[in-house]
Structure 1
Amino acid sequence: MNAITSQLGSQLSLVSLNGARRPAPPPLVLVAHGSRDPRALSTVRTLIERVRELRPHLSVHLGHIELNEPLLADTLASLDADGAVLVPLLLSRGYHVKRDIPEAAAAVPGLRARIAAPLGPHPLLVETLYARLVEAGWRTGMSDADRRAGGVVLAAAGSRDPESITDTRRTAQLLAERLGVPVVPAYASAAPTVAAAVRALAARGRHRIAVASYFTAPGRFATECAAAAPWIAAAPLGSHAAMARLILHRYDQTVATPEPAPERELASA
């Protein structure tokens, strides 16, 4: 039903109130990081197909920061339109969002590109994390005793950027509110590690500890973090339906935000 509603809305959005056809919306470029794990590219492609199903009249493209083709620079150079909305398939603010993606867009002559916010933190991410935990064996109807014994480690890639750390902590807080148990963020490439977070929860009397995979797709980091789980380890976020809705939400947010007026050049005296 959600898909049908979204498709109908997409079709109606192409027609104005007087019946005239509106200009096509700017293309959406989903910006993935890239991975040597072939499962990552397969997952991203499936996710893009979900986005296209929800918004069939929207031109949707894929570009990678590194490791996989098509690379972002090549995707941007191939666009016919002079405008595009780049939606990072990234979960927090950090170097890729602040530097790599803007620099790639700026390097294409004549391209007007707007960059959406990263996907997280957002309730739709929490919805996906919860669904993945339930798939892995998390109990939906926990008793008080189970809740007192339970805990979750939110395993993320890690970043030195303080805003990225803040974003991950916020997601952990939202997930804790959803589950009713403590959720501790941990990182594959920074401290605390998943193993350290597990020990910290165990020291608080939590002995049923799950690992929630805060990764967009399978890969080395996700695999290493899952291996440290003492109980269950959830799958990465992947191509869950809520992820496709979140990508379109970030796109729509960006399109609805007025573009800043171009700076006027001062005439020389």
Structure 2
Amino acid sequence: MTVMTVTGSTSTRATGGAPALVAVAHGSRDPRALSTVSALLDRVRALRPGLPVHLGHIELNEPLLPDTLAALGDGPAVLVPLLLSRGHHVKRDIPAMAAASPARTRVAAPLGPHPLLVDALHARLLEAGWPTRPPRDAAVVLAAAGSRDPDSRTDTTRTASLLAARLGVPVLPAYASASSPTVPDAVRTLTSRGHRRVAVASYFTAPGRFATESTAAAPWIASSPLGTHPAMAHLLLHRYDEAVKADGDLKSRLLATP
């Protein structure tokens, strides 16, 4: 897991004692993305009342991450990427934005891979019509955004393996951009292997162009993005807690919270 610390000055702005949780979304021109992420953070707030929870975007939507961090002043914060694998945004963009802010921050690991994501993927497939006892000719394409970073591919492949173990059928990772195979190519590969019923599992945090294009390629059923599934809120808090535990100063602030 990639966790990077960016040090700064001691907080002079009140955050209720606990480090703020700043969820970092990519951003999308699809208005459903912002509403979905906002609803997810409402679930997080309900699970942990009193924890300051904020949102910042890498691009395309407001508030942008630098503006969110500026509003926190020099207070402590944990940045949790709402991204499903390692890649350029997690390794470079988010840490660079954090380093340019006055806040004392720690960047948590991305959401994936993790068994909680498999819980959400499985649930979304069931909602889409996935049978509780899938036939022998069933298979799944795990449709992800894609990245040129090999670690991103490794993480997505790991999630595909976890999902295959859960479902008991082959799961082939595929990508909407920047990597291969594409979703249509993965569908053709599975079909050529005798899988007549191929589902597409949408491995996206929220609706958007990539999710829409990926599900349109499904020859059978296609699941919705992970969105506000309860496992997502629990995983977001899990990544926050991991980062706090890894940083002694942030942990002492959390323990001091009434």
TM-score by length of 2: 0.88
Paired position in structure 2 for 1:131: 123
Alignment of 1:108-127 (within 5 A): 108-109=101-102, 111-127=103-119
Paired position in structure 2 for 1:152: 140
Alignment of 1:71-220 (within 5 A): 71-80=64-73, 82-109=75-102, 111-142=103-134, 146=135, 148-189=136-177, 190-220=179-209
Paired position in structure 2 for 1:263: none
Structure number with bigger Rg: 1
Give me the whole-angstrom Cα distance separating, in 2, the residues matched to 1:80 and 1:187.
Answer: 38
Q: Give how far 1:140 is off.
A: 1.2
TM-score by length of 1: 0.85
Paired position in structure 1 for 2:8: none
Runs of 4+ in 1 over 2 A off after TM superposition: none
Paired position in structure 1 for 2:55: 62
Kept in 2: contact 1:85–1:116 (CA 8 A): yes
Q: Give how far 1:69 is off.
A: 0.4
Give me the whole-angstrom Cα distance separating, in 2, the residues matched to 1:81 and 1:152.
Answer: 46
Unaligned runs of 5+ in 2: 1-15, 250-258
Paired position in structure 2 for 1:253: 242
Q: Give how far 1:191 is off.
A: 1.3
Unaligned runs of 5+ in 1: 1-22, 261-269
Paired position in structure 1 for 2:4: none
Q: Give how far 1:258 is off.
A: 3.2
Give me the whole-angstrom Cα distance separating, in 1, the residues matched to 2:59 and 2:105.
Answer: 19
Helix, strand or coil for the counterpart of 2:142?
strand
Kept in 2: contact 1:31–1:65 (CA 8 A): yes
Describe the superposition over 1:81-135 as per-residue Cα deviations: whole angstroms up to 9, x where unpaired: 52100000000000000011000011113x2100000000000000000000000
Helix, strand or coil for the counterpart of 2:94?
helix
Give me the whole-angstrom Cα distance separating, in 1, the residues matched to 2:180 and 2:248.
Answer: 39
Give me the whole-angstrom Cα distance separating, in 1, the residues matched to 2:46 and 2:150.
Answer: 36
The size of the alignment, in residue pairs, is: 233
Kept in 2: contact 1:129–1:214 (CA 8 A): yes
Higher relative contact order (CA 8 A, sep 6+): 2
Q: Percent identity?
A: 71
Paired letter, 2:216? A
Q: Give how far 1:259 is off.
A: 4.7
Paired letter, 1:194? V
Alignment of 1:222-237 (within 5 A): 222-237=211-226
Helix, strand or coil for the counterpart of 2:43?
helix
Kept in 2: contact 1:26–1:81 (CA 8 A): no
Q: Give how far 1:199 is off.
A: 0.9
